[in-house]
Structure 1
Amino acid sequence: MPRLPLPRYNLDRFRRQLASVDALPQLCVLGVVSGLITGGLMVVFRLLLALGALVFLPGGNPEAFEGLAPAARALLPLLAVALIGLWLWRQPVAGRQIGVAHVISRLTYHQGRFPLRNWLTQWWVGLISVLGGLSAGREGPAIHLGAAASSGLGQRLRLPHNSLRVLVACGTAAGISASFNTPIAGVIFAMEVVMMEYTITGFMPVILASTMGAVVAQAVFGFERPFQETGVALGSLFNLPWIVVSALAIGLLAGLFVRLARSGVRLDALPLAARFALAGSLVGVVAWWYPQVQGMGYDTLGLTLAGELSLDVLLAVAIGKLLLTAGAVACGIPVSIIGPILVAGGAAGALCGLLGAQLMPSLAAGPEVYAMLGMAAMMGAVLQAPLAALMALLELTHNPNLILPGMLAVVVAGLTARQLCGCDGFFISVTRHGLHPLQQPLMQALSRVSVPAVMERDLVRTRRRVTREQASALLEAKPIWVVIERSSDDKPALALKAADLARWMLEHDDDDKIGKDGKLDLLEIPGQRLDMAPIHLQATLSEAFTRLNDKAVDALYVEHGHRPKQKRISGIITRDAIERYYRYSDTPPA
């Protein structure tokens, strides 16, 4: 019985498929793998936190700073900043960049490629900052570690850069999902804060990655519901005006946080050791009386939602933790800010709820309602990510009753921080015409596809001078372009239309244009010639567009291979081909 032929799958074909804008099945496969890898990394990170807590924290709880003696918890941040500072001091300036801002920067300017040195730094700083009692969360490490590991998979397989972008989003979503069991919030955060765009091609792989990350975490730690408050409801619509006032106040606090965190330029005159000592000392002083400001603070947030914290502790968390986190960032300590702002926002919301109960004793909802709304409002205002904040509110509380007031609170707080305080999203530092480079519509569209999807492959390579027989042999392959290689690397390669060479061959059947050596000079042939610069096969159209402008050339030749002496030209991409793609023309590349 004859055997049925099986479809051939190989890595080169997989790469070619990924270069296209509609490579959804291939990206979904990568999303699943990315989620599994990131989920495993987050399990390791959480286990390392638990292992470190076993050494000196009561019950092996990474958040049990309240159980330490006042002197111990006050000195602990100083030890933490010393360990972090010693590590960072041995790194170059570029090697100190970690966290969400680093992920966005690498996606914006480096096509989603991450240095290993920064990845290792994130492990050290992430563990020490949380265990050392600084006001820090584990969200930044989760996002950086997951995004870099997922991108590293793509780099290892030499996948085109348009797929690296999606892998970064997959790692981001899976990291959040595996850390907090919030798969939907992970997806929205990845698309809204990191990718800054929404596409079907991006959503589906990211959803799969987030799902796999949650599955891995649940397989190890079980199904966790940190703040299950299903019985809490708004009660009366008369609370809505006070929710607006509360959100306005939280938006002002968010603006203060962003302004203070970005004031680090003024502290650059101080030595690194002095800045780190200042940040550690401030945390230590506050922690002597209020250890709730230390660490991630999710235990404190749980007590806030349960209404078990006193007024002075709520004030210390709402103001102290917020300012201590911003101060650490301003002093150059790369701590994660998402967890602390959630905790501080919850405390600020609870304070607003207590005040509302005094003003409207018969109508006001409980402080726990305002605490949950404050948590989402603070996150949405600081990050300028309203959907991510709403999804975090829903998944952390498992309470759909709060979505309606949550939408109002998030929008009011976000508008307050943006319009009254002039604050963009915390992680958006560079804008042009009000838009981050990742938000530019043209670059977004061109980043979704790589050059192999639109490059012209019908070409031949030759030296400048050839015989008539050699020229005829070149044309037998029916190329569209003839790539003319130059005698030295400092001279740009040229592309000649094969039709122009064929026309000249037909019109000149004599030898009057041939030199004494019996060869014709292709640079003397009348016709369209394009100056070219090289670009690698993995590049996106946005990279090609930028390189065309930077080199001031008309076309690029696409190199394939990694060894300098073994590189070959795979195709040509012209400016017209990029413009046709962007305009969704059906005309094939010329």
Structure 2
Amino acid sequence: MARVFRSLLTLERFRRQLANVDALPQLCVLGLVSGVMTGALMVAFRFLLSLGATLYMPEGNPEAFEQLAPWGRALLPLIAVALIGLWLGRLSPSARKIGVAHVIERLSYHQGRFPRGNWFTQWWVGLVSVLGGLSAGREGPAIHLGAAAASGLGQYMRLPHNSLRVLVACGTAAGISASFNTPIAGVIFAMEVVMMEYTITGFMPVILASTVSGLIAQLVFGFERPFQVSDLALGAFANLPWIVISALGIGILAAGFLQLARLSERLAHFSLTVRCIAVGVLLGGTAWFYPQVQGMGYDTLGLTFGAHLAVDVLLAVAVGKLLLTAVTVACGIPVSIIGPILVAGGAAGALFGVLGAQLMPNASASPTIYAMLGMAAMMGAILQAPLAALMALLELTHTPNMMLPGMLSVVVACLTTRQLTGSKGFFNQARQGSRHPLQHPLMQALSRVSVPAVMERNLVRSQRTVTPAEARKLLTTNPVWLVIERAKDDKPPLALKGSALARWLLEHETPINEGHRGYQHVDLLEIPGQRLELAPINLQATLSEAFLALQNETLGALYVVHGYRHKQKRISGIITRGAVERYYRYTDHIPESRSPERGP
């Protein structure tokens, strides 16, 4: 029993340390644990993909659609959309949300807490969409499964919500790292697309999670170089104008993808059955002639880099796969888009490379170079994530000499798409009417710390009416606040400064001592002093949650509720508007790494 009690005290101390903005060692521990969890999950997911592929795919390869008979590969998407439609049809619209967009939404509006049902839906849809020949990748499932599992660990341990945000980023990076052996790209994607901020406190745990997860995947599968690309060089600077032109073209294709994907609201009035059938027919019909549009398509991307695909196949992948992916998303089938857009971008870049060789036969670089640049440009343009796209280019191809032309290509494509569509990225385009909460500097700062870091703990609870002796007893610990609990449950408690009660007792000391009838009881709602109406907030909440709650003009402060059983909840502290304002006004003027210790 004593050992259990000590472990509970240790966990409670761990939670209090995590509430502070500078809890870097504790967050690094969580990063390591979430990396191990996510790495194991990704190994299981990849194993299930391989297991499913052994049932009907040639050589058990989940991407060998080209080796299937035409009728077989055309029938697969119809079966896949039927299975997905049956699963989604019994769910509410909110329960159908999965993938990267769902991760960002939960992080933005739910402090990184994930519903369990959506997590299981991601397993089903992720496996069926890839094995069923839809134009889908495994990046979305990897990110959702990793982020939700890491966050679930924090929820199970009842950690402060500011640490849940970091855990979501850790799971995101670890999922990408374990799936594709791209640990740096995973870190950059997590910070640039999901967290949308760069801090030392956020970076270090995420790097650890990505590293550990990648190591676990390598222990199981060995080191897998994604694409075997020989050492290439751009050659003549005469290619730079053509690189800009190709990036413009890819930016236009990316803009078309985003505009088509935005049709989801217009197509929503059709039933889910009709939308699923439409996707199955379109994919099946295209796959009859061009199976390269199916699945993740990384085998197709490898052939593109090797210049082994005919022009008509490149065109089918560059345009057809891009359009089919957008139509699938617009019809409400939540597939991962990152893999397909990489493959389509590579094919589009290769087409520009082939055309450049015709226009500049003596100076044009290899189509392989344009394919690599096109892959990064398409990803950067659609996601509006240039750094993540450049890291993907580096880690997928292992060609660091492509970074300079890659930077030019990615920037031009991103600008083109942004100017044509006004999109701030595929995963954020649904929120274009208002600023994304994570992009607001104040909310970012307040989300990094939980309420225990700034709340006032020196308080006592009291009934409305007390005797003078009880009033003096309340003041023995010199409380800053008195929390006045009222008889009716529907009336919120009030907060009164302890100094107000002390002043009243001093002013009425004589009549109290003489036993005057009117001073036998003290009504804490009648003595002079400002009383603040209170509302509850959980001990795990961040200052951003407290800030939003205090926008209610009728509230003067929040009381922090501690405990996990309804009848055993206790008040741990009081947090006022002034406490929140003092925190962010003070931290605005000092570097994060030198923030003062704000112990619990």
Q: In the alignment, which residue of structure 2 is the partner of 1:3?
A: none
8 Å contact 1:135–1:296 — kept in the other structure? yes
Q: In the alignment, which residue of structure 2 is the partner of 1:535?
A: 537
Comparing 262-271 with 52-61, which one deviates more in the overlay? 262-271
- CA distance, structure 1, for counterparts of residue 421 and residue 161 of structure 2: 37
Q: In the alignment, which residue of structure 2 is the partner of 1:86?
A: 86
Spell out the pairing of 1:48-127 with structure 2 (5 A cutoff): 48-127=48-127
Does residue 468 of structure 2 align to residue 468 of structure 1? Answer: yes
Partner SS for 1:456: coil
Comparing 284-293 with 559-568, which one deviates more in the overlay? 559-568
Structure-2 change in CA distance of 1:572 and 1:247 (3 Å)? same
Does residue 515 of structure 2 align to residue 507 of structure 1? Answer: no
Q: In the alignment, which residue of structure 1 is the partner of 2:573?
A: 571
Structure 2 residue identity aligned to 1:51 = L
Structure 1 residue identity aligned to 2:458 = D
CA-CA distance at 1:396 after TM superposition: 0.2
- CA distance, structure 2, for counterparts of residue 44 and residue 219 of structure 1: 13
The runs of 4+ residues in structure 1 deviating greater than 3 Å are 6-9, 429-435, 510-517, 585-589
Spell out the pairing of 1:355-394 with structure 2 (5 A cutoff): 355-394=355-394
Determine which of 527, 537, 551 is the counterpart of 1:525.
Answer: 527
Spell out the pairing of 1:450-469 with structure 2 (5 A cutoff): 450-469=450-469
CA-CA distance at 1:530 after TM superposition: 1.1
Q: In the alignment, which residue of structure 1 is the partner of 2:550?
A: 548
- CA distance, structure 2, for counterparts of residue 348 and residue 357 of structure 1: 14
CA-CA distance at 1:430 after TM superposition: 4.5
Does residue 430 of structure 2 align to residue 439 of structure 1? Answer: no
- CA distance, structure 2, for counterparts of residue 432 and residue 23 of structure 1: 34
Q: In the alignment, which residue of structure 1 is the partner of 2:487?
A: 487
Partner SS for 1:237: coil
Structure-2 change in CA distance of 1:530 and 1:209 (3 Å)? same
Comparing 222-231 with 291-300, which one deviates more in the overlay? 222-231
Structure-2 change in CA distance of 1:434 and 1:549 (3 Å)? closer
Map Cα deviations across residues 101-141 of structure 1 (whole Å, 9 max, x no partner). 00000001111000110000000000000000000000000
Structure 2 residue identity aligned to 1:263 = L
Q: In the alignment, which residue of structure 2 is the partner of 1:176?
A: 176
Superposition TM-score, scaled by structure 2 size: 0.95
Q: In the alignment, which residue of structure 2 is the partner of 1:300?
A: 300
Does residue 22 of structure 2 align to residue 12 of structure 1? Answer: no
CA-CA distance at 1:502 after TM superposition: 0.8
CA-CA distance at 1:431 after TM superposition: 4.0
Q: In the alignment, which residue of structure 2 is the partner of 1:255?
A: 255
8 Å contact 2:458–2:480 — kept in the other structure? yes
Q: In the alignment, which residue of structure 1 is the partner of 2:215?
A: 215
CA-CA distance at 1:37 after TM superposition: 0.2
Map Cα deviations across residues 375-434 of structure 1 (whole Å, 9 max, x no partner). 000000000000000000000000000000000010000000001222220000344776
Partner SS for 1:584: helix
Partner SS for 1:10: helix
Partner SS for 1:427: helix
**Long gaps (5+) in structure 2:** 1-5, 588-595
CA-CA distance at 1:435 after TM superposition: 3.2
Q: In the alignment, which residue of structure 2 is the partner of 1:39?
A: 39
- CA distance, structure 1, for counterparts of residue 8 and residue 569 of structure 2: 25
Map Cα deviations across residues 479-499 of structure 1 (whole Å, 9 max, x no partner). 111111111122121111111
8 Å contact 2:143–2:173 — kept in the other structure? yes
Map Cα deviations across residues 231-290 of structure 1 (whole Å, 9 max, x no partner). 111111111111111001100111110110111111112111000000111000000000
Q: In the alignment, which residue of structure 2 is the partner of 1:287?
A: 287
Q: In the alignment, which residue of structure 2 is the partner of 1:196?
A: 196
Partner SS for 1:429: helix
8 Å contact 1:514–1:521 — kept in the other structure? no
Partner SS for 2:561: strand
- CA distance, structure 1, for counterparts of residue 411 and residue 215 of structure 2: 32
- CA distance, structure 2, for counterparts of residue 165 and residue 552 of structure 1: 30
Q: In the alignment, which residue of structure 2 is the partner of 1:265?
A: 265
Structure-2 change in CA distance of 1:96 and 1:77 (3 Å)? same
Map Cα deviations across residues 219-242 of structure 1 (whole Å, 9 max, x no partner). 000001111324111111111111
Structure 2 residue identity aligned to 1:282 = L
Structure 1 residue identity aligned to 2:59 = G
Does residue 224 of structure 2 align to residue 246 of structure 1? Answer: no
Q: In the alignment, which residue of structure 1 is the partner of 2:414?
A: 414
CA-CA distance at 1:551 after TM superposition: 6.5
8 Å contact 2:112–2:164 — kept in the other structure? yes
- CA distance, structure 2, for counterparts of residue 550 and residue 49 of structure 1: 50
Q: In the alignment, which residue of structure 2 is the partner of 1:128?
A: 128
- CA distance, structure 2, for counterparts of residue 283 and residue 7 of structure 1: 55
Partner SS for 1:523: coil
- CA distance, structure 1, for counterparts of residue 428 and residue 519 of structure 2: 62
Comparing 483-492 with 283-292, which one deviates more in the overlay? 483-492
Q: In the alignment, which residue of structure 2 is the partner of 1:333?
A: 333
Partner SS for 2:241: helix
Structure 2 residue identity aligned to 1:104 = I
- CA distance, structure 2, for counterparts of residue 207 and residue 315 of structure 1: 38
- CA distance, structure 2, for counterparts of residue 47 and residue 235 of structure 1: 42
Structure-2 change in CA distance of 1:442 and 1:278 (3 Å)? same
Partner SS for 1:533: strand
Structure-2 change in CA distance of 1:16 and 1:192 (3 Å)? same
